[in-house]
Chain A
Amino acid sequence: SQKIEQNSEALNIQEGKTATLTCNYTNYSPAYLQWYRQDPGRGPVFLLLIRENEKEKRKERLKVTFDTTLKQSLFHITASQPADSATYLCALDSAGGFKTIFGAGTRLFVKA
């Protein structure tokens, strides 16, 4: 069956450290993968999109990798700050790009 798996346990890290979140998928062949941030009671906010032919993408303190062999994406936040505390969702395209399927998200807590 098709699955998108993100670590359901919350990730607690100290301010200034690098946070690494994992997204694994099975029985999908996405052309691209996206990461979103969601704060409690709010809609998701788009962060980064990485295509299947890209290994890595960066935006300010964010870095995403995409390994289509491992069927995995890693999302890194360097020099983390308490303001980075949120739930991070990975999402991939399905049905030829007509649908986006979301993982359940990983909650990140950054302690000052």
Chain B
Amino acid sequence: GAVVSQHPSRVICKSGTSVKIECRSLDFQATTMFWYRQFPKKSLMLMATSNEGSKATYEQGVEKDKFLINHASLTLSTLTVTSAHPEDSSFYICSATPREADTQYFGPGTRLTVL
């Protein structure tokens, strides 16, 4: 149980284009989903917390107009990197928390490369 999927697993795009990443909880309902960014050999950096049916809460320094988050249902959250630039290249990971649980279950991650 507690499986989270992410799609796509890898994406390469040209500078200036937008990329959408989907995060789905497959066998549970997630009232809260989190989006992280991870640089090589570094820790997970929380970008935003996404609650179903409400606006995402962004961490300090994360541009909400750059990283659009939509939590449309209890099993789906999307992250759109708008007008991507090479510095946005990174590993993006989502996680989801079941109701009344403390543990986060992570997706497999999406490797974004912006040329």
Q: Which of A's residues lie within 8 Å of B, judged by CB?
A: 32, 34, 36, 41-46, 49, 89, 93, 97-105
Decide yes or no: A93 and B43 within 8 Å by CB, A42-B109, A43-B107, A98-B49 being known contacts: no
Q: How many A-B residue pairs have C-beta atoms within 8 angstroms? Tell me.
A: 46
- Minimum C-beta distance from A31 to chain B (A): 8
Instruction: Point out the residue from B42, B102, B106 that lies within 8 Å of A43, measured CB to CB.
Output: B106
The contact sample of 16 A-B pairs, CB cut-off 8 A, is A34-B103, A41-B111, A42-B108, A42-B109, A43-B4, A43-B106, A43-B107, A44-B95, A49-B102, A89-B44, A93-B102, A98-B49, A99-B46, A101-B46, A104-B42, A104-B43
Q: Count chain B residues whose beta carbon lies closer than 8 angstroms to a beta carbon of A.
A: 21
Q: Does B104 contact A (CB under 8 A)?
A: yes
Q: Which residues in B have their C-beta under 8 angstroms from that of A93?
A: 102
Contact in complex: A44, B102 (CB < 8 Å): no
